[in-house]
Amino acid sequence: MLNQSAADALLSSQTAHRFRYSLRSSAVLFVAAILFTLSLIAPLIVLMQSAFLNEQHQFVGLDNFTAYFSNPALISSIFNSMWIAITAMLITVSLASVYAFALINCNIRGKAFFKTVAFLPILAPSLLPSLALVYLFGQQGVFKDMLGEVEIYGPLGILISYCFWLFPAMVMLMMGAFRHIDQHLIEASHALGKNTLQTHWAVTFPAIRYGLVSACLVAFTYVITDFGIPKVIGGSFNMMALDVYKQIIGQQNMNMGAVISILLLCPAVLAFIFDRYQSRHQERYQNFQIQPYRLRANPRIEKVLTVFCGVISGGILLIIVTAILASFIRYWPYDLSMTLNHYRFEYVDGGGWASYFNSIKLALFSTVFGTMIIFIIALFSTRFKAHPLLKNYVKVLVLLPLAVPGLVLGIAYILFFNAPQNPVSFVYGTMTLLVISTIIHYYTVPHLTLTHAIQQIPNQLDHAAQSLGYSHWTMFRKVYLPLTFPALCDVLVYLFVNAMTTVSAAIFLYSPDTNLASVAVLNMDDAGDTVAAVAMSILILLTSCAVKLLHWLFTRKMMASTQRWREQTHS
Amino acid sequence: MQIPSHLQNSRTGQAMPNSAGHLLSTLRTFKMAESKTVLEVMDIQKSFGSSRVLEHINLDLKAGEFVSFLGPSGCGKTTLLRIIAGLEQPDYGKVIKQQIDITHFNTAKRKCGIVFQNYALFPNLTVAENIAFGLHKKHWSAQEIQFRINELLNLIELPNIAEKYPNQLSGGQQQRVALARAIAPNPDVLLLDEPLSALDALVRLNLRQKIRTIQCQLNLPAIMVTHDQEEALSISDRVAVMNKGVIEQLDTPHNIYYKPQTRFVAQFIGSMNFIQTVVVDTHRLKMNEHSLIEFPHLNFAQDEHYEIAFRPENVKLVAGNESSTEYLNLAVRIVNTEFLGAKRRLFCVVQNQNHADDNMLQVDVDHQHIAVVQDGMYLQVPIRDLHVFDSRGHARC
């Protein structure tokens, strides 16, 4: 009886577990949620709103949309955008698939070289291929005769530029996909009496299907929301994204720009939702015991694939080398002597060297602050207990930037931050806003990279550290930081390179004081100074290359010095 | 019936001692000896780059027989299985199945069912679709396929999982489905590549019996690769013990254990104590001043080194030194003991031995046979239970 009452008393006194969620992590995530809402959700809402307003900010219902759809010139650009996007997607994805297959599943020589070359375009501003194409096939192009009657200005140039620009992303996605093919499944299928074609249909295709669809969606969205390339090499060929650019920059017609932005947002969001939906089905393939598939030694196929990779990487190198040469040649194609004059930028628009240093500043700020913020949010949203509602809200928000094209984000920012009634409108046109927009625009990929790296660290380490009396902070410094360091380096480089090369959002947000190199490329070309634009592109390319090289050297050295403990975690 | 010596052992030119009849028990036949040969592997050789993985492998598989390839990792057992399956091409030699040379057939034409270590179920297909994968529309009607699926699901005792996906099943279930998929198209031979290695200990015990039962029911000749000797010895008709690309011995589990033909087999299977000896004359060996051992049936060469060996369970532990020609007596010092339930395991060192060679002997004795354990005791090993190996590692008896 005594025991019973004592036990009851004990039980009723245990109320200490009421706060199941740590206050600190909830607070951090709450701040993150507010920041996201202000810098992503609110601008998008304003964007949606303004599509239904006229220039006097009066509600006009669907009038803007009807105006858009009754304009034949604008309608034709929808059609143009569609077929260019689909064609570029089909070409790039199929080329990239074969290329990735050769790199992953086949024993060809020179893999390191082919891989490096395939990733080069990522380091260049998106306009570089178009500019190089002008030098190769334009009015004064070296190979102009090869095209005959066809003009490079127009769909052809646009398609080639997109293929060049999209190629690295597609190769990366497809390489991931081809790594998922299990040698044992291929063997099992053969053993069950299927021939090569049936085997690949039954095993290879399902394994890469997810990657293939993702690649297609990414390619399609990229093309449909980009305006830089058609602007440089499109001639009179109109595309949807280019219309937005013209409406906003040329005619200051914000409402029409908002309408087209929303139309552009639709395919991007649909693609995003579809991708999420099918990634759930991908879980079935989560088998950690995969032995990657290797094609059996077959000299003929290897030769064919080597030639294929050679041709592709030759094309990529041709474009890059042309751009480099063009930037040093005095007066293409009449005076081929070398000069550094084009790098002086004194007599051209666009901001010259100042814009280059602005870009560096933007890249550094975005990299440092972006990595810090992303790491903190990734850590708190994966590891610490917070209120589930808050956690899920942040989880949705961090994925959202992937679905918002830079162009749409830029316009939403103009509308939101340029509004006179906004208390923080003073940031408009400053470096701060550019940094914010860059971080938000490129948020998702680094977040996923870091989340993945953090999830690789076993939870038990936390418990062990706690039982040994270490604080979260020591744990963070001694365990999380070293273990996620390679991922952090990847994120740093990703943010830096993207901040250097980005045009899409930045072009709507810069002011004369904060001109950027990548924007300068577009403006220089617009003003007719193609050679200065090329020189600036090359500067950007070289800077990205240098950073990437630094990263590579650093990672290699670090991996070598920490190899002893890393080997065990990665084996 | 004795198996022809060229099939028992891939070592060329090794003379089989015919006089080894004094061992306690030698099974001279095995169940399938009279059956007809289904699969024959002749003189297979294979190297990867400069390393030779398989050397002169000869092997036969009788109808309904279960053969295991047993050996440490890197001994070439998986490569041999993959050559039989057609997943790897041999550098030299032939694979013959039912009198047809299939060496250059591709895997699809060989009619071999394969079960992989990591199950290798198609993740995008349901269990039923996985099982039906090898049932080609050309030879099977939809009705027959459905019937076959149900039949196999009942055979593996998982009748209700047809619509599930592989990732919804446990490892043991997945492996059973993989087995069903492999036998669905009625293969001529079943090949199991470490089928149980990825599973828990308990599931493993269970599943190996199930595999054996199903294999017997279907009378399906099977080859299993494993590095677990208990697994191999318990369910196989014959075991091929492999080491460094060579089949050291291909024999029934009984003979593998009681009559190892090489030193490697002796120490790889179970535990075995080895003691260095010196030749005294053609019929006698000694290991130290006190113990002379006489083998009237064997002839020793003067300049050769021989090792004698015995199993831990063949030993008696006695307090006094009773010399006899039937037994080898060894004065030992007991270093450590382990309790193993019905038995007690003793670790001891032979006394009067020079310290350079202080190998620990392992002895298992029944509890009722030792009244007292003290530091100095004697081991009594029956001479007829001794194995003798020459310096090349071949068994002399």
**How does pLDDT run across A106-154, given as a tens digit for each residue?**
888 888 999 999 999 989 888 899 989 888 888 777 787 777 777 888 8
Instruction: Establish if B123 touches chain A: CB-CB under 8 angstroms.
Output: yes
Q: Which residues of B touch A188 (CB under 8 A)?
A: 114, 116, 120, 122, 178, 181
| pLDDT the model gives residue A309 | 95
What CATH number should be reported for the domain holding residue B360? 2.40.50.100
Model confidence over A518-545: pLDDT tens digits? 888 888 888 888 888 888 999 999 999 9
- Look at residue A20 and tell me whether its pLDDT is greater than 80: no
Q: Are residues B257 and B307 in the same domain?
A: no
- Look at residue A316 and tell me whether its pLDDT is greater than 90: yes
Q: How far is A63 from chain B (nearest CA, A)?
A: 48
Q: What are the Cα distances from residue A74, in Å, to A65, A211, B11?
A: 11, 33, 83
- Look at residue B311 and tell me whether its pLDDT is greater than 80: yes
Q: Are residues B315 and B236 in the same domain?
A: no
Which of A185, A191, A195 lies at the smallest CB-CB distance from B122? A185
What is the rounded average pLDDT of the residues B1-16?
38
Cβ atoms of B327 and B288 within 8 Å: the answer is no
Model confidence over A167-176: pLDDT tens digits? 999 999 899 8
What is the rounded average pLDDT of the residues B360-373?
77
Q: Do A192 and B123 touch (CB under 8 A)?
A: no
Cβ atoms of A343 and A524 within 8 Å: the answer is no
Model confidence over A419-446: pLDDT tens digits? 888 888 888 888 999 999 999 999 988 9
User: What confidence category does residue B21 fall into, taking pLDDT thresholds of 50, 70 and 90?
Assistant: very low
What is the rounded average pLDDT of the residues B178-202?
91
Q: How far is A278 from chain B (nearest CA, A)?
A: 13
Residue ranges of chain A that CATH labels 1.10.3720.10:
21-50+353-515, 67-181+210-282+299-339
Q: Are residues B362 and B234 in the same domain?
A: no
How many domains does the structure of chain B reveal? 2
* Nearest residue in A to B109, CA atom: A193
Strand ranges of the sheet holding B92-97, from the earlier edge strand across to the other edge: B51-62, B37-48, B92-97, B100-101
Helix, strand or coil, per DSSP, at residue B371: coil
| pLDDT the model gives residue A386 | 76
Q: Do B122 and A284 touch (CB under 8 A)?
A: no
Cβ atoms of A334 and A345 within 8 Å: the answer is no
* Nearest residue in B to A285, CA atom: B123
Q: How far is A279 from chain B (nearest CA, A)?
A: 13
* Nearest residue in B to A192, CA atom: B134
Instruction: Establish if B107 touches chain A: CB-CB under 8 angstroms.
Output: yes
Q: How far is B217 from chain A (nearest CA, A)?
A: 21
> Residue A54 is encoded by which pair of tokens?
């006229």
DSSP H or E stretch at residue A320: helix A299-328
Residue B277 falls inside a structural domain: yes
- Look at residue B377 and tell me whether its pLDDT is greater than 70: yes
> Residue B234 is encoded by which pair of tokens?
């318990």
Q: Are residues B87 and B200 in the same domain?
A: yes
Residue B231 falls inside a structural domain: yes
Residue B17 belongs to what domain range?
5-111+188-268
- Look at residue A403 and tell me whether its pLDDT is greater than 80: yes
Model confidence over A67-87: pLDDT tens digits? 888 888 778 888 899 999 999
Q: Would you say the C-alpha torsion A235, A238, A239, A240 has a positive or negative sign? A: positive
| pLDDT the model gives residue A511 | 85
> Residue A62 is encoded by which pair of tokens?
């669907």
| pLDDT the model gives residue B1 | 38
Q: Which residues of B touch A191 (CB under 8 A)?
A: 85, 87, 107-108, 110, 112-114, 134, 182, 191
Nearest Cα to A410, choosing from A488, A516, A494? Answer: A516
Q: Do A193 and B167 touch (CB under 8 A)?
A: no
Which of B85, B118, B123 lies at the smallest CB-CB distance from A191? B85
- Look at residue A1 and tell me whether its pLDDT is greater than 70: no
What is the rounded average pLDDT of the residues A274-279?
79
Q: What are the Cα distances from residue B88, in Å, to A102, A477, B45, B79?
A: 21, 49, 12, 7
Q: Among B217, B246, B268, give the residue marking a domain's end.
A: B268
Q: Which residues of B touch A190 (CB under 8 A)?
A: 86-87, 106-108
Q: Are residues B277 and B259 in the same domain?
A: no
* Nearest residue in A to B120, CA atom: A185
Residue B130 falls inside a structural domain: no
What is the rounded average pLDDT of the residues B37-59?
91
Q: Are residues B199 and B303 in the same domain?
A: no
| pLDDT the model gives residue A62 | 81
Give the up-direction half-sphere exposure of residue A33: CA atoms within 13 A in the CB hemisphere. Answer: 19
- Look at residue B318 and tell me whether its pLDDT is greater than 50: yes
Model confidence over B255-292: pLDDT tens digits? 999 889 999 999 999 889 988 888 888 888 887 766 77
Distance (Å, rounded) from C-alpha B301 to C-alpha B290?
21
| pLDDT the model gives residue A384 | 76
Residue B124 falls inside a structural domain: no
| pLDDT the model gives residue A15 | 47
| pLDDT the model gives residue A350 | 67
Q: What burial letters (b/e) apply to B223-252, b meaning 16+ CB within 10 Å?
A: bbbbbebebbbebbbbbbbbbebbbbbbbb
Q: Among B268, B285, B311, give the residue marking a domain's end.
A: B268
Cβ atoms of B180 and B188 within 8 Å: the answer is no
- Look at residue B19 and tell me whether its pLDDT is greater than 90: no
| pLDDT the model gives residue A354 | 87
What is the rounded average pLDDT of the residues A238-265?
84
Residue B386 falls inside a structural domain: yes
Distance (Å, rounded) from C-alpha A357 to C-alpha A228?
21
Which of A188, A190, A289 lies at the smallest CB-CB distance from B106? A190
- Look at residue A570 and tell me whether its pLDDT is greater than 50: no
Q: Which residues contact A227 (CB under 8 A, 6 or more apart)?
A: A239, A241, A242, A244, A245, A407, A504
Q: Do A185 and B120 touch (CB under 8 A)?
A: yes
Q: Which residues of A touch B113 (CB under 8 A)?
A: 191-192
Q: Are residues B278 and B307 in the same domain?
A: yes
Q: Are residues B236 and B97 in the same domain?
A: yes
Amino acid at A20: R
% of chain B residues with pLDDT over 70: 88
Q: What burial letters (b/e) apply to B43-73, b meaning 16+ CB within 10 Å?
A: ebbbeeeeeebbbbbbbbbbbbbbbbbbbee
Instruction: Establish if B112 touches chain A: CB-CB under 8 angstroms.
Output: yes
Q: Do A188 and B109 touch (CB under 8 A)?
A: no
**Topology adopted by domain A67-181+210-282+299-339:** MetI-like fold (1.10.3720)
| pLDDT the model gives residue A3 | 61
Q: Do B85 and A182 touch (CB under 8 A)?
A: no
* Highest-confidence segment of A328-337, A461-470, A556-565, B67-76: B67-76
Q: How far is B129 from chain A (nearest CA, A)?
A: 11
| pLDDT the model gives residue A285 | 64
Cβ atoms of B263 and B124 within 8 Å: the answer is no
Cβ atoms of B277 and B294 within 8 Å: the answer is no
Do the strands B238-243 and B316-318 form a parallel or antiparallel pair, or are they unpaired?
A: unpaired
Q: How far is CA B243 from the centre of its chain?
A: 11
Q: Are residues B304 and B260 in the same domain?
A: no
Q: How far is B136 from chain A (nearest CA, A)?
A: 8
Q: Do A202 and B133 touch (CB under 8 A)?
A: yes
> Is domain A21-50+353-515 given the CATH code 1.10.3720.10 in the classification?
yes
- Look at residue A333 and tell me whether its pLDDT is greater than 60: yes
Which of A190, A202, A290 lies at the smallest CB-CB distance from B122? A202
Cβ atoms of A144 and A138 within 8 Å: the answer is yes
DSSP string, A177-243: HHTT-BHHHHHHHHHTT--HHHHIIIIIHHHHHHHHHHHHHHHHHHHHH--HHHHHH-TT---HHHH
Between positions 160 and 199 of B, the ones with CB within 8 A of A are: 165-167, 178, 181-182, 184-185, 191, 198
Q: How far is A187 from chain B (nearest CA, A)?
A: 7
Which of A188, A193, A194 lies at the smallest CB-CB distance from B120? A188
Residue B80 falls inside a structural domain: yes
Q: Are residues B250 and B292 in the same domain?
A: no
Cβ atoms of A163 and A96 within 8 Å: the answer is no
| pLDDT the model gives residue A114 | 94
Beta bridge partners of B362: B347
User: What confidence category does residue A474 fall into, taking pLDDT thresholds of 50, 70 and 90?
Assistant: confident
Which of A187, A287, A290 lies at the smallest CB-CB distance from B107? A187
Q: Among B220, B245, B268, give the residue marking a domain's end.
A: B268
Classify burial at B114, counting beta carbons within 10 Å of its beta carbon; exposed 0-12, middle 13-18, buried 19 or more: buried
Compute φ and ψ for B5, nearest 5 degrees: -65, -30
| CA-based radius of gyration for chain A | 26
DSSP string, B216-272: HHHT--EEEEES-HHHHHHH-SEEEEEETTEEEEEE-HHHHHHS-SBHHHHHHSS--
Q: Are residues B278 and B263 in the same domain?
A: no
Helix, strand or coil, per DSSP, at residue A72: helix
| pLDDT the model gives residue A190 | 87
DSSP state of B119: -
Helix, strand or coil, per DSSP, at residue A440: helix
Q: How far is B264 from chain A (nearest CA, A)?
A: 31
Give the up-direction half-sphere exposure of residue A60: CA atoms within 13 A in the CB hemisphere. Answer: 17
Beta bridge partners of A94: none
- Look at residue B41 and tell me whether its pLDDT is greater than 50: yes
Nearest Cα to A224, choosing from A43, A68, A405? Answer: A405
Residue B180 falls inside a structural domain: no
Residue B131 falls inside a structural domain: no
Q: Are residues B379 and B257 in the same domain?
A: no
